[in-house]
Amino acid sequence: MLHNNFLLPVRVYYQDTDAGGVVYHSTHLNFMERARYEWLRELGFDVHSLVEVHKMLFMVRSLEIEYFKPAVLDDLLHVTVEVTKMGRSRITIAQEIYCSHVKLVSATIHVVCVGSETFKPVSIPAPLREKIGKLE
């Protein structure tokens, strides 16, 4: 069912929910960002090395998100990361959040590679581009 490049399990804690035990809509974005960071780490590129070695970082340029069903306190969620398109400095990522194989949230995230000092678009580093390219 989950045919994606990366999957991160995330448990819903009390801090993630409202008084009714439902996950806040914005918290899903936090779960997705955490999954993208862990995906990069699995590829061998932690955030510190991107800044220190490659002098770049990724910033979200835009996103589109749809909520289908709520996540609730103590759910075990699975957050996916799948690259759908890669340009010179931009990556389009499809992300979904599942609970027990039921899709709760779907999003398309556009991230841009920017210089860590200028915050202007730069090319995705060749080693990272190569690793991502192997996933397509």
* CATH fold label, 6-133: Thiol Ester Dehydrase; Chain A (3.10.129)
Please tell me the predicted confidence (pLDDT) of residue 135. 57
- Distance, CA of 64 to chain centre: 13
Active-site residue among 16, 18, 74, 75? 18
- Written as six digits, the tokens of 105 are 């949230």
Cα separation of 71 and 20, whole Å? Answer: 11
For residue 136, pLDDT over 60 is answered with no
Please tell me the predicted confidence (pLDDT) of residue 5. 82
Show the CA angle centred on residue 73, arms to residues 69 and 75, nearest 5°: 65
Cα separation of 115 and 112, whole Å? Answer: 10
Convert the pLDDT of each residue in 49-88 to its tens digit.
Answer: 999 999 999 999 999 999 999 999 999 999 999 999 999 9
Is 18 among the catalytic positions?
yes
Q: Where are the domains of the chain?
A: 6-133
CB burial class (10 A; 0-12, 13-18, 19+) of residue 131? Answer: middle
Q: Match 């989950």 to its residue by tokens.
A: 2
Whole-model pTM: value is: 0.92
